Amino acid sequence: MERVCFLLRVKADRLADYRIRHKEVWQEMREALSRHGWTNYSLFLASDGLLVGYVETPEFSAALAGMQAEEVNARWQREMAQYFEGLESGAADTSLRPLELVFHLD
């Protein structure tokens, strides 16, 4: 199981809206994430807009590729792009740069 942590930045003026959107994640999006091995997926948002994501998955590259094939993911990414600063690819899911895991207490 891969443990993956990543950072993104939410625009300061969009923090409240971003929180609301994540209280209402579409059921079909949740199902797609589960279908492609996204387990224990969590997002943490700091008051300055720093977003920390964490997911456990058998293979992160396969989990990402699976979501890329989902129409619901394309719709979600288009709607959510407005909330982020500095997306390299224009979408959050393809701008993720995992951090190096240097310690895990088993």
- Look up the CATH number of the domain holding residue 27: 3.30.70.100
CA 55 → CA 12, 82, 96, distances in Å? 24, 23, 12
- What is residue 106's predicted lDDT score, i.e. its pLDDT? 84
* Residue at 89 is within a domain: no
- What is residue 7's predicted lDDT score, i.e. its pLDDT? 96
Residue 78 identity (one-letter amino acid) = R
Average model confidence (pLDDT) across the chain: 96
Which residues are catalytic, by number? 22
* Residue at 93 is within a domain: no
Task: Report CA 99 to chain centroid distance, whole Å.
Answer: 13
Helix or strand (DSSP H, E) at 52: strand 50-57
- What is residue 68's predicted lDDT score, i.e. its pLDDT? 96
CA 34 → CA 3, 42, 66, 91, 106, distances in Å? 15, 13, 10, 20, 24
Domain that holds residue 51: 2-83
* Residue at 96 is within a domain: no
pTM for the whole structure: 0.91
